[in-house]
Structure 1
Amino acid sequence: MKMTERAQQLVRTRTPFVHATVVRAQQPTSAHAGDEAILLQDGTIEGFVGGQCAQNSVRKAALGALQSNESVLLRVLPDGDLQFPEAPGAAVVVNPCLSGGALEIFLEPQVPAPLVRICGATPIADALAELCALVGFDVQRGIGGSDSPDSLTDTTAVVIASHGGPEAETIRAALDSGVGYVGLVASKIRGASILDELGLTEAEQMRVRTPVGLPIGAKTSAEIAVSIVAEVIQAIRKGGLAVPVRLSSVAFEALDPVCGMTVVVGPDTPHLTIDDIDYWFCGSGCRTSFAEAKTGS
């Protein structure tokens, strides 16, 4: 599968990843400018951006880029020559495991957009779906009566614009799943009545907006949609509303017992199990040295 096709597949499944591209390679590195790879949360590297020693540095920087959701230009050096432009988004890593050469790799995180689930088949719901897509949100219509709370775990916001139907049940399902923003399109009186029926805790009440949307005097369906989207954006950018994603297994760090380097453990990280103890290494050289020391051969 081509790298672009794989990236599109991960975007469709809302799987976080980092796209890594070698922008400059100094011999004798095995990578070349233009080489690229996709790095997943569990440390998997699909593609090629350098040998095993370079991969450890790239893997660690990629996981950091995923956490910050900021791109970074990474320079991997084999020694202490730290000549590199001082600039935001640039970083230097000295990797003594490298046999020589240097690499510059651009790491671009791809984190899923906020997912807004819209319940209802009304003009407001239709306008809201269009506007959410316009600002870059992912949109799904409805949550379905058979959906379990677990099916909403990657949802940023649920907006109910059905003007009737199972509104209370939908609010309850969204709250039980941990959705941080639940909006109900209703008058102040009707909305308060529905919430009273649910017997919400104070913390749950703070997650439900009704009337929903910023108070901009909206009247039309499109204007109401604008007020709702603006409120969701405000909650994300200023209110700390989380944009959850479905997590795969996440890579962890270990200490190479030979060279002392911190290793981000992935599926292809050199590894030994001796006397039921697991050891991970920056490269095959350290693994071989450790095995010889342990076995005396």
Structure 2
Amino acid sequence: MTRADALRSGRTPFVLATVVRVERPTSARPGDRALVLPDGTVEGFVGGHCAEHTVRTQGLRLLSTGESTLLRITPDGGEETVTEGMVTVGNHCLSEGSLDIFLEAMLPPMLVHVYGTAPVARALADIGRALGHDVRLLPDSTGALPADLGAVVVATHGRGEEPTLTAAVRAGVPYVGLIASRKRGAAVLAALDLTDEERARVHTPAGLDIGARTAPEIAVSVYAELIAERRSDG
């Protein structure tokens, strides 16, 4: 397993920096690569200290936006310039050459916990994975929730719903949904040991009202709501 593969499996975000073009004199060559980690560590080689410092700075910026860009580092002075798909940085301590480095943000897919074993839970897992999410299908809630958990959907049909929902809300999970009828969902919300504001964060019935009836249709409605909420927050 490569270092990049290990970071992906551990859900650690990083930026892959690849030298794609050089104007000599430079110490880097096309194809040289490095990884920029969230703590600012640079693993690999994309040039000397000056180039590495610029790659680190730009890489950390991309980790916060999730974007990718072409970075051009030149020995010229002047302010940083940004055009579509490219950032140009003048670095006085660089040698006379210049570097073009592609910076690719590698963020882990959204982590989704689906609780339950019924057809709706299985459909939520299948469709979520088809959308590229990292979906964990769990029979019930056990242990602490991961810090980067993006969504919790409870489809246990009355079994262990309250502690699972309460834990997800208190952990600050961005999307919390309960698969239930409107009447039963309201009853579950009323029983939660949460404030009114916290209860309002639980989506029930989970999903957009698209007239869904089958398990796959319900799953589609849930992810549609999740996507819409993420876009509005962004």
Q: Note whether the superposition's TM-score is higher than 0.5.
A: yes
Q: 1:59 aligns with which of 56, 61, 64?
A: 56
Kept in 2, the 8 Å contact 1:152–1:179? The answer is no
Give unpaired runs (5+ residues) of structure 2.
none
Kept in 1, the 8 Å contact 2:115–2:141? The answer is no
Q: 2:92 aligns with which of 87, 93, 96?
A: 96
Instruction: Identify the residue that residue 7 of structure 2 maps to in structure 1.
Output: 10
Aligned pair 1:69/2:69, yes or no?
no
SS in 2 for 1:152: coil
Q: 1:135 aligns with which of 131, 136, 139?
A: 131
| Deviation per residue, 1:203-225 (Å, 9 max, x gap) | 21221011110000000011101
Taking a change above 3 Å as real, the CA distance of residues 98 and 125 of structure 1, as seen in their structure-2 partners, is: same
Instruction: Identify the residue that residue 210 of structure 1 maps to in structure 2.
Output: 204
Kept in 1, the 8 Å contact 2:16–2:35? The answer is yes
Between the aligned partners of 1:145 and 1:232, the Cα distance in structure 2 is 21
User: Displacement, 1:145?
Assistant: 4.3
Q: 1:107 aligns with which of 103, 109, 115?
A: 103
Give unpaired runs (5+ residues) of structure 1.
241-297
Instruction: Identify the residue that residue 50 of structure 1 maps to in structure 2.
Output: 47
RCO higher in 1 or 2 (8 Å CA, sep ≥ 6)? 1
Between the aligned partners of 2:229 and 2:149, the Cα distance in structure 1 is 14
Q: Percent identity?
A: 50
Instruction: Identify the residue that residue 186 of structure 1 maps to in structure 2.
Output: 180
Q: CA RMSD in A?
A: 1.8
SS in 1 for 2:108: coil
State the 4+ residue runs in structure 1 displaced beyond 4 angstroms. Answer: none
Q: 1:22 aligns with which of 19, 22, 42?
A: 19
SS in 2 for 1:20: strand
Amino acid in structure 1 at the alignment position of 2:108: P
Kept in 1, the 8 Å contact 2:36–2:56? The answer is yes
User: Displacement, 1:87?
Assistant: 4.0
Between the aligned partners of 1:145 and 1:87, the Cα distance in structure 2 is 47
Kept in 2, the 8 Å contact 1:24–1:33? The answer is yes
User: Displacement, 1:144?
Assistant: 4.8
Amino acid in structure 2 at the alignment position of 1:154: D
Taking a change above 3 Å as real, the CA distance of residues 101 and 163 of structure 1, as seen in their structure-2 partners, is: same
Please show how residues 1-297 of structure 1 align to structure 2 within 5 Å. 5-80=2-77, 87-142=83-138, 144-148=140-144, 151-240=145-234
Higher mean displacement: 137-146 or 192-201: 137-146
Between the aligned partners of 1:195 and 1:80, the Cα distance in structure 2 is 60
